[in-house]
Chain A
Amino acid sequence: METNLAPLLPSAEVVLTALSVLLLDLFIRKDEKGLLVWISLIGLALAGGMALFLWGSHEGAFQDSILLDDFALFFTELFLGAAAITILSSVHYVRETNIHEGEFYALVLLSTFGMILMAAANDLILFFLGLETMSIGVYILTGMWRERSQASEAAMKYFLIGAFATGFLLYGIALIYGAAGSTHLGRIASALGQTKSHGSIILSAGVFLLFVGLAFKVAAVPFHFWVPDVYDGAPTPVSAFMAVAVKAAAFAGWARIFLYQLSPLQSEWTLPLKALAILTMTVGNLLAISQSSVKRMLAYSSIAHAGYLLIALVAGGESGGQALLFYLLSYAAMTFGAFGVLIALKEGENDHEAYSDFAGLGFKRPFLGMAMSLFMLSLAGFPPLAGFTGKFYLFRSAVVAGHIDLAIIGALNSLLSVVYYLRVIVMMYMEEGGAEGKPFARAPYLYLAIAIAVLGTVYLGVLPAPALDLSRISFISLH
């Protein structure tokens, strides 16, 4: 049987890049490590080009356990972009902290490979494989700054809890296999159709455990306890990578499994999922209010945003899928931006992550201050920025699906979130001191990353039509 390898091209390219980075790392001097950045970026760009080239195809490989449709390609591009931004924004950071550059970039690339698999997996086992590939890379990335105890602590915690979540996930997959006789999504779906077995306890339990495992990965309340400590302890670029890419990968898997093939299974769970969404939004926002560190606040805000995204999953259907994909794009832009500004404040051993470190930033660094204001306003859902358009579509999908209460609670929550996002702006423009006299990082790569995030945040808000179309087409390609 002929194996069609074309669908593997982008992910293979990413692995190849990672290996070249690792290998080259051995042979170059410390002051030449900049080369690794370029190789990684070029590799990512090549993979992105391949994904573009494959756009519109609908091919499977390995008995269709990998399916390269527009949905997978959309997320491939998202992950590649996220990896590129992460690398751009970490160049400065890893040098400041003496993190081994080669390993760092290679691990980012390898995790990205895992994510691509997750988005393309049409088989639960392969999905699991991708998830673990991604997770192991991120565990290590979290602890890469070995001189700092919080980083090791975070890595340890992340690993233990991640392993725990994996247990749920795997057990869920096993139960589903037991009930449907297959791990292949298509075959599970057809087994469901034939035997009307979706009333069975085993299947329900399996689906439930799968939900729990995914809820861990997207950091939904009450499976969120690890998030603040892990995001806080990890190197900031890795926190951004986790907040954006890891979350997006988990949502990609969730959408592929439960919004399409196994959607009848999810509809049984609408009520608990709704509760999960409401809880995640509300708790995330409430806890974010009382933080004194901006990094921790962003960690809680990422929990709250997971809650908003869950609205789209509850709503489901075409409008839900479109809103999910579009919001992930917007969320990526503004979150990377916010973390990027945080990285720009870093200086040597000192992270400068407290609110008070932002005091007066708006006057000392007008462009950085303006960028941060933009990200905060966008995260708070302020028009005409990406966050507003994204939320508009999320709430709209809820309303269309008849969950008006979810839309109202979501809107109330975004009102609540203004309180803590605003505090950053207040600090930057209405307080003095803080960063007084501090030399600011000369980090062109980082500023490039922030500039890209600014462009994304504004573009997705002002001219969202192309991205919305893209999101819709990508989601429809599942069917």
Chain B
Amino acid sequence: MEHPIQTDYLRWIVLLPLLGAGWNGLLGAQLQKRVGKWLVSLFACAPVVFSFLLSLAAFFGLLALKPEERFLTDRVYAWLSLGSLHVDVAFWVDPLSAVMILVVTGIGGLIHIYSIGYMHEDRSYWRYFAFLNLFTFAMLLLVTADNLLLMFIGWEGVGLCSYALIGFWYQDHVNTRAGNKAFIVNRVGDFGFILGIFLIFWSLDQQGHGTVAFREIATFASLLQGQEIWGIGVVTLATLFLFLGATGKSAQIPLYVWLPDAMQGPTPVSALIHAATMVTAGVYMIARLNFLFSMAPVTLEVVASVGVATALLAATIALTQTDIKRVLAYSTISQLGYMFLAAGVAAYGAAIFHLMTHAFFKACLFLGSGSVIHAMGGEQDMRKMGGLSRSLPWTFWTFTIAVLAIAGTPLTAGFFSKDEILWQAFSSPHGSSWLWLLGVAGAGMTAFYMFRQLFLVFFGECRADHHVQEHLHESPKVMTLPLVVLAVGSIAAGWIGLPGIFGPNLFAQWLEPVLGAAHEAHGSGAAEGTLMVFSVGVAAFGFYLAYLIYYRRALAPEHFSSLAGGLLYRLSYNKYYIDEIYQFVFIRGTLLLARIGVWIDQYIIDFIVDGSARTTALVSWVNGLFDNYVIDGIVNQLADSTFAAGDKFRKVQTGNINSYLYVILGAVIVAIIVKLRYWS
């Protein structure tokens, strides 16, 4: 890693989508009107496809190198420079970011193509693609940035684009509110992220090596050992702040609330942003800074606990949701929880592996649900679906494969990656059997709610009304083709990361230069096999339960929903009322503060305004006199009332300035007291 290879094409991987966004953003409206939508699609999809090809080139470029030299960089220019701080606009690709750019441009490209079909009817077609491209740019910036600040630009950028795309159909206020919520919750996380950056910079600066570049942080990180601030280790505090940032972007407790609402956006957006790319930013960031997180065992513990708690909480909510996309949204949160669980037990490679496989099957699920919604004329309630396997064969088969993958069916991608995480949660030095057990419980629930969805949507009798049934149709090729590619990936993507008992884990080897060698597991191959069988058994049980309830209808769902007086069901269905609690505590709280401020301001200003209304009258009266005599105009406002008001002027005027003076005097006295209290 000492001598990174300079290239000059990495920048184009990032910049091409930006060019596409600029082109469509500025000219798209005209092109769409004058030439047609195909040109807009061309300028939107081509840059992403080219980015993907360049990413492939970078990948093979890396592959040709010796593992410890796999590192490409492209320095564009010096961005900020001051004293010890030098920040470049520079991109880098190492094995970790290579995985990310392939996922972002590959799956992102497929979703771009799918969108051609899905968004065809929309009159703001160009705007959609401009934002989609801008998003791709920001995401690529995030994963290829060679320093924290540049990464932060991408970090904020994806938030902004996500906001614009969630609120894309702004005519409906629900959508704009969801967009706002996503943006503001994300900003809370960003606040943590920027503080984390500051802390890292500042504490390195104390050691004489102020920097925000990843490679240099990695070099000097060991200097931070033992530094403290407010009695807490600097590394622990900084990583906790960074993790707060990650919970915002990657929808973990406590900041996950925006993601389900984000489903208001067009479905391909849900697939791209809220499943495959943006939400993985937090996982990527932790993997990127793995050397820091590994230095802070406390943070790791927090990460693992939050991860597994989120995985479980979201899974229990997903059990009862009826909106086809909401189930997927909570399953995304839950799966992200698994990634954080992996990161929290220092199995960063497993986290990235699951990130990649999840990108395939979750994109496939979302796009499949989009195809269903498309066919159903916008209906999203699963209770009104059913029996769609006949009319939507392509969608059905691909969806089924993706469900099998996410449920962890052996030999699918999801099986290998989830098994890797569970095994690491058990065997890693940071792991424990508790983490493993909770993870397995979540996996069982995942199997249940995913098969519940599959059965509700595609099997049984169709519960839609007659009109909708008549119009059921399979989506066009441009939409089903990406589904097929993703379904293939949902199976095959797992084979590059086989568990230890089956053979060499190519994926872990690939990431080794960045993430370090995988932990020597303290269990044996036999233990791994036993645990694997057990977790598959739990998942099979989840499947069987869903099969009994929703396919065979041998068990009534009410049987379960009335448990504990229906309390559990209501809690899950209403998402534990977390939204309501947040609304009450934070939003009301802030508004209350603002209102108090306004009240104080008003109270004081009232004096002034009161008087100055009369002042104005006098001024305009004087003005009027002036106009009257000098310009010889006729001033009508010189009415008796003005005159009378003007008469009172002096009295009120004195009053209001006095009151103002008192405020100032008060402030001055307070300041003097403060000063005397702390007299040096």
Contacts and interface: CB of A to CB of B under 8 A. Distances in A.
At the interface, is chain A mostly helix, strand, loop or mixed? helix
Contact of B674 (A143, A272, A392, A464): A272
B478 interface: no
Given A430-B179, A472-B82, A408 B195 contact: yes
B213 to A, nearest CB: 15
B167 interface: yes
A389 B660 CA distance: 37
Interface in A277-333: 283, 286-287, 289-290, 319, 322
A448 interface: no
A459 B50 CA distance: 28
Given A152-B623, A322-B82, A384-B153, A412 B191 contact: yes
B678 A468 contact: no
B619 A286 contact: no
A411 B675 contact: no
Interface string B626-661: 000000000000000000000000000000010011
B619 A431 contact: no
Contacts of A92: none
B191 A208 contact: no
Contacts of B184: 418-419, 422
Main secondary structure of the interface of B (DSSP, over half): helix
Given A222-B667, A400-B202, A411-B194, A286 B597 contact: yes
Contact of A229 (B157, B171, B175, B609): B609
B176 A430 contact: yes
B664 interface: yes
A478 interface: no
Interface residues of B, number: 70
A275 interface: yes
Interface string B136-168: 000000000000010011001100100010010
B392 interface: no
Given A222-B667, A290-B594, A415-B188, A468 B674 contact: no
Interface string B172-189: 000110011001100110
Contacts of A432: 171
A225 B604 contact: yes
A45 to B, nearest CB: 30
B29 interface: yes
Contacts of B82: 319, 322, 393, 468, 472
Contacts of B591: 289-290
B615 interface: yes
Contacts of A431: 170, 176
Contacts of B663: 222, 225
Contacts of B183: 418, 422
A99 interface: no
B579 interface: no
A225 B601 contact: yes
A345 to B, nearest CB: 20
Contact of A411 (B191, B205, B661): B191
Given A426-B176, A465-B81, A383 B595 contact: no
Contact of B229 (A152, A157, A400, A404): A404
Given A212-B668, A222-B667, A418-B187, A229 B608 contact: yes
A223 B202 contact: no
B593 interface: yes
Nearest to B619: A152
A132 B179 CA distance: 48
Contacts of B80: 389, 392, 464-465, 468
A415 B245 CA distance: 13
5 closest A-B pairs by beta carbon, nearest first, are: A430-B170, A153-B616, A152-B619, A383-B153, A430-B176
Given A153-B616, A384-B153, A468-B80, 15 more contacts: A160-B657, A204-B675, A212-B668, A229-B609, A229-B612, A286-B590, A289-B591, A290-B591, A382-B160, A399-B201, A407-B198, A411-B191, A426-B180, A429-B170, A430-B167
19 contacts: A149-B620, A152-B620, A153-B619, A157-B608, A225-B605, A229-B612, A271-B674, A272-B675, A286-B590, A287-B594, A289-B591, A382-B156, A383-B157, A400-B202, A408-B195, A412-B191, A415-B188, A430-B176, A431-B176
